[in-house]
Amino acid sequence: MTKNMVSKLYPHVIDLKVTKCPCANDVALLGFILNSTLDGVYIGLSFSGFWNYDDTTWYNLTDMIYSQVGEEHRELSMVDMVLTNHFLVILTSLGLFISGDLRYPSSPVLMFSRADFCGFERVDYVKGKLWYSERCFANRERFEVDYVTITFERNRTLSEASSCFYSNEPFLEWLPCLPHIPHGMKAGLLTVITFLVDQDHSCGVYLLSYQKEITVAIHTLRNNKPRLKLKYPSFTFPASFSSPVGMIFHPRSHFLYAYGNQVWLSMDGGNTFKLLADFHDDIIKNTYHSFYTSDITFVSQSGKVYLTKAGLERYAEIGSITDKIFTLYYDHMGVIHKLTPNRFEAGRSLAALGNSKGIFGQAPDMGFETALALQYITLDEMIFYAYVPENEPEKSRYTKQFNNIHLGKVIHSGKTGTAHIRKILKHDTPKGFLSSVIAEMTDPFGVEDVSESSCLSSSLSINQDGNFYKLTLQMQTPGVTSSFRDSDVEKTVVIPGYSSFLITRVVDAKNALAIATMPGRVPNGMTFVKDSWFLYNFGQRNGRTWTIYEKPCNYWFQQHDDSLSLSVLKYIDLGKSQSLKVKVIPNTKGIRTFEIPLLKVVVGNPNLLEIEAEGAFDDTDSYVMEISIASKTLRQGSTSLAFIVWGASVDCFVTTFVPTLKSSCSYLKSMHHIPSQYIPLEDWIRGVHKDSQGFNMIKTLPINYRPPSNMGIAIPLTDNFYHADPSKPIPRNLFHKSKKSGQFKQCANKSTREECNCTNDQKFSHAVAFSDCREKVPRFKFPVTQYPISLEIHSEDGHMPVETPYLVTVMEVNRRENWELTHTVPENVKKLKDHLEPILHAPVYNPSGLNLSIRGSELFHFRVSVVPGVTFCNLVEEFQIYVDEVPLPFPGHPLIAIAAAVMLGGLIFLTFMLQIRNIHPWDKCRNLVRSSKVKLSNVSVRQLAYRWTSE
C-alpha cells in the first residue's frame, strides 16, 4: 500500500494494536482497528522498531480474509493480533485467522486459515481478546511450546463448550480452556477472564470470576492439556480488586501480573500474589513490556501512565497521554515508542533510555493534597504523617494517604531539604493520621523563621484539651509581637525529644489546637522557651509546600563476565554446572547503606535445577553475588532466574537481570573427531598434501563412487553415493544387487552436479547426509593399525576431551567389515559396558585410548555416538578413511603362490624322470636341428642342378 492509500484510512481508525516478534523485538506489526464506515484489515510491518513512519510497509489483507468467509459478510475489521515465534494470529470481526508457518512460506502471498468456534458470531468476535506469553524459541526444544488463548466477553451457553479457547502450534485445534466445571459452580456464573500457560512449571494459570469473587487457579498440563486436579489451592483476591481486566507474564520470566483497578504481582507462578498498586476508581486497560530493560508500563483508562520494573515491588507515575488513539511499543533496546495512526514518537533523550519517561513530558508530582506532620526519630531519620481531616468523606480518604507509589520516592520541601522514603505505614492511630512514611533525610529541611511565623518569638506551653492539644504562647520578650496566624494552620511544631504537633486550628492570637504525632511522647503541661521549639511548613492551606518525585538511580548493576547482554541464556547439561556472578554498586550519596543484601534472587522453577547463592559486601560497599547452577535430575526443561535490586529506583536502566536457564543440550555443543594428521584447508581444495615420504594423504573419489561390500569390490551394496553426479554413469553397477542399491540424497531428482547446489561446507563434511557432495577424503596406506580415535567436545565453555563417564558406540555406515577397535576397560567401565550393551544391542567402548585397525581396502565411513544417559545431547561424529596401495585381496596371493609352486615342482619332477630314463632332450633337439639343416642343403643343390640343366 502507498502512503496516500494509508492516509485515507486515518479518519476511520478507532484504535491500534501492536505485536512484535518474540526473538527480535525490532520486527513488529501495527494493525488498524476501524469503525463501521470502512471494511478491511490493514497491517504495517517494521523491521526497525517503528523509528521512522516511512520505513513501515503496509499490507491490505481484506481480500484474503473475504476469500475465507465469503463476500456476503460485511463490517470487517481487526480486533486483536499476536505474532508468535512462527505464526501470525489475527482476530477479526468475522473470525480468527491463523497464518501458515512464517519460516516456510508456501507462496509469495501469506495465506491464512480460519478457526471455527461453534455458536460465536460477529457480536462476540468484536469483544474477543487474544492472550499470549512472549517467549523466544530461537533454538527450540521439544518442551517449548507456543500457546495462544482467545476469550469472549460472555458466559457460555449449554450448547457451547466454553467462552475461552486455547491452542498450541500450529494452532489447528482449539480446545476449551477449562478441564471441568468445579463442583458447586454453575456454568453460567463462572467466567474465564484470562488463561495463560506457565512454561516454567508446565501449568495452566486461570484468572476466574465467579459471582463477585476473583480467583487464580492453577492446573498442571499433561500432553499440553490441563488436568482436572489443582496444583495449588486457588488464590482469592480481596473484594477491592473489583474490576479485573487481565493477567500477563512478563516476557521470558516467571513474573505474573494481574491488573485492573489494582495491580498484583506473583513471583511463584500464581500460587501467591502481592498488591503492587491500587488505582481505586481508575482501571489499567493495557500493559506494555520490555524484556531487555525489564520495563513494564501500565496505561489507565484516564490516560495516566505508570512504570515499574519486573519483580520490583514499587512503581512510579511518569506522565499521561492525551492522544485519543495511540498504543505503546518497546523495541529490542528497551526504548519506548508512542504510535498513532499518522506518526511515531520515540523516547530519544538520555533520560528515556531504558525507561518510559522520554515521551510523556515533565515527570509529575506524586504528592497529594493534604498536610504532612514531621516527627524526628534521630538526627537523620524521621516520620511524615499524612493528615486526614475528621470531616473527610470515607470514599475520598484514600486520596489523603501515602500508598505504594510513594515507596522509594523523595519528599522535597518548598524551602530546602529532601528525604528518601524507606517504608510505608498504615494505621488507625494517632487520631487524624491514617498513614505515614519512614524517611531518611538527605538534605536538611528549612525551618520557619520569625518573619514567617511571629509565634516563634514566644515560649510555648502544651496542655491536653479533649482529643486535641492546646498550644499556648507566653510572651518572653516585652514589646515583641508574637501571635498565631491563620497561615500557621497545617504547620508542624517540632520539639526535640518529644512528640510533634500539627496545628489544625487557630483559636485566637495566643492559642491554637493541634494533634500529636506520638501521643505517648506528649510533654503535657510543659513549657518550652523560645528557640527550643521549631516550626516546619509541610501544609497545603495556601498551596502545597511539598512534593514527591522519583528518586534518581541509586544503584549500578554489573555482570562479571564478558557478556554485556541482559538476555543471557545458559545451558546446563546433565552432570554439569554453570556460574553467574553479578555486582550491585551503590550510588547513594548522603544515604546510609545498611548491611543487608542488596539483591533478591528468585527462581522460576526451583525443582528443575540445583541453585546455590552466595553474597557478600566488598571493601567498596558493593554487593557481590555468585550463583552456582547444577543439573539436578534427568528432567529437561527451562526456567528463569531473576536477580532483583529490590531497593533500586525505577529510574535505573537495570534493576532486574533475568537470565534463562535450560536443563538441556546447548545448540553450540558438539563432538568432533581430531585427525591424526592435520591437513590445511588450502591443501584440501588443491587435493594434494604429501607426507614426509611423498605419499599424498588426500584421495579424490571417483564420480558416483560406492564403497565395496563384503561380497567384493565390484559388488557395492550401500545406499550412499559419494562425489555424486547424476549426469555421469554409475560404476560397479553390473550385478543385480548393486543396481537395486544406491540412492542420491542432495542430488535426488537432479540432472547435473551443479543442480545439487553443494556448498563448500557440504563438500568437506564427513556427515553421511552430505555424502553426495563429498569429493575428497583422507588417504592412508595399507594396513591401518592402531589409528587413534581422538574425540573432543566443543561448547561455549571451550574444548574438552571425550573421557569417562562418556562411553561410545562405533559403527561403519556402509556395513563394511575388516576393521576392529581396541580400548582399555577399567572395572567401572566394564560394569557400565556390560549393563549397556544388552540395552543398546551394540558394542560399547571407552573413548579413552580407543584405537582403530583396518584390514580392508578403499573407503571406510565410521559414525561414533555417545551413549545416552550421561548427556542431554545427541553427540554424534563421523569420519572417513580411504585405505590405498592394498595388496591383492584373498585368495589372490595364495593362488599365485600355489600355481608357482606347482609349476616349479612339475618342472623338477620332469627333469628327474628324464634323467632316470636316460633321456636327453637337449641331444635330440640338436640332432633334429642338424638333420633339418642337411635336408635343407640337399634341396638347395638339386634346385641349382635343375636350373643349370634347363639352361
List pLDDT tens digits, range 749-772.
Answer: 999 999 999 999 999 999 999 999
* Contact yes or no for 437/424 (Cβ under 8 A): yes
* Contact yes or no for 196/634 (Cβ under 8 A): no
Q: What is the mean pLDDT of residues 376-387?
A: 95
Q: Which one-letter DSSP state was computed for residue 845?
A: B
Residue 840 — very low, low, confident or very high, per pLDDT cuts 50/70/90?
A: very high
Q: What is the mean pLDDT of residues 142-158?
A: 82
38-47, 163-172, 174-183: segment of lowest average pLDDT = 174-183
Residue labelled with grid coordinates 516478534: 21
Residue 296 — very low, low, confident or very high, per pLDDT cuts 50/70/90?
A: very high
| Grid cell listed for 316 | 512510579
Pairing state between β 698-700 and 776-781: antiparallel
Distance of CA 947 to the CA centre of its chain: 119
Q: What is the mean pLDDT of residues 459-476?
A: 91
200-204, 569-573, 945-949: segment of lowest average pLDDT = 945-949
| Grid cell listed for 156 | 457460555
Q: What is the mean pLDDT of residues 254-259?
A: 96
List pLDDT tens digits, range 647-657.
Answer: 899 999 889 99
Rounded mean pLDDT of the chain?
Answer: 89
Q: What is the mean pLDDT of residues 488-511?
A: 94
Q: What is the mean pLDDT of residues 501-513?
A: 94
List pLDDT tens digits, range 395-423.
Answer: 999 999 999 999 999 999 999 999 999 99
Q: What is the mean pLDDT of residues 720-742?
A: 92
* Contact yes or no for 146/168 (Cβ under 8 A): yes
List pLDDT tens digits, range 889-919.
Answer: 556 667 888 888 899 888 888 887 877 877 7
Residue 913: predicted pLDDT: 81
Q: Is 379 left (phi over 0), alpha (psi -120 to 50) or beta?
A: alpha
Measured distance CA(377)–CA(375) in Å, rounded: 6
- Provide Rg for the chain, Cα atoms: 44
Q: What is the mean pLDDT of residues 647-668?
A: 91
Q: Enumerate residues 6+ apart whose C-beta is below 8 A from 578.
A: 570, 571, 572, 628, 629, 630, 661
Of 45 and 915, which is predicted with more confidence?
Answer: 45
| Grid cell listed for 723 | 562425489
| Grid cell listed for 528 | 518550652
| Grid cell listed for 655 | 534493576
Residue 351: predicted pLDDT: 43
List pLDDT tens digits, range 195-212.
Answer: 999 988 889 999 999 888
CA angle (691 as vertex; 689, 697 as ends), nearest 5: 50
Residue labelled with grid coordinates 510555648: 460
Residue 370 confidence (pLDDT) above 50: yes
Q: Enumerate residues 6+ apart whose C-beta is below 8 A from 696.
A: 688, 689, 690, 779
Residue 941 confidence (pLDDT) above 80: no
Residue 157 — very low, low, confident or very high, per pLDDT cuts 50/70/90?
A: low
Residue 222 confidence (pLDDT) above 60: yes
List pLDDT tens digits, range 63-116.
Answer: 888 888 876 677 899 999 999 999 999 999 999 999 999 988 888 888 899 998
* Contact yes or no for 120/151 (Cβ under 8 A): no
Q: Quick check: helix, strand or coil at residue 737? A: helix
Residue 271 confidence (pLDDT) above 60: yes
Distance of CA 92 to the CA centre of its chain: 29
Question: Cβ atoms within 10 A of the Cβ of 179, count?
Answer: 16
Torsion on CA atoms 650, 654, 656, 661, rounded to nearest 10: 160
Residue 937 confidence (pLDDT) above 60: no
Measured distance CA(24)–CA(138) in Å, rounded: 10
* Contact yes or no for 224/218 (Cβ under 8 A): no
Residue 593: predicted pLDDT: 63
* Contact yes or no for 258/273 (Cβ under 8 A): yes
Residues forming beta bridges with residue 880, ordered by sequence position: 861
| Grid cell listed for 566 | 541482559
- Highest mean pLDDT, choosing among 66-80, 355-369, 916-930: 66-80
* Contact yes or no for 258/272 (Cβ under 8 A): no
Of 479 and 22, which is predicted with more confidence?
Answer: 22
Measured distance CA(253)–CA(265) in Å, rounded: 13
Residue 928 — very low, low, confident or very high, per pLDDT cuts 50/70/90?
A: confident
Measured distance CA(861)–CA(882) in Å, rounded: 9
Measured distance CA(161)–CA(738) in Å, rounded: 60
Residue 751: predicted pLDDT: 93
CA distances from 684 to 673, 679, 895 (A): 17, 7, 40
Of 479 and 266, which is predicted with more confidence?
Answer: 266
Pairing state between β 876-884 and 776-781: parallel
Q: What is the mean pLDDT of residues 27-43?
A: 93
| Grid cell listed for 202 | 508446565
Q: Enumerate residues 6+ apart whose C-beta is below 8 A from 941.
A: none
Residue 635 confidence (pLDDT) above 90: no
Residue 720 dihedral angles phi and psi, to the nearest 5°: -95, 125
CA angle (729 as vertex; 725, 731 as ends), nearest 5: 105
Residue 475 confidence (pLDDT) above 50: yes
Residue 497: predicted pLDDT: 92
Residue 931: predicted pLDDT: 67
| Grid cell listed for 420 | 528518601
CA angle (170 as vertex; 166, 175 as ends), nearest 5: 25
41-50, 312-321, 610-619, 902-911: segment of lowest average pLDDT = 902-911
Residue closest to 298 by CA, chosen among 312, 274, 272, 317: 317
Q: Which helix (H) or strand (E) holds 733?
A: none
Q: Which helix (H) or strand (E) holds 68?
A: helix 62-69
Q: What is the mean pLDDT of residues 776-797?
A: 92
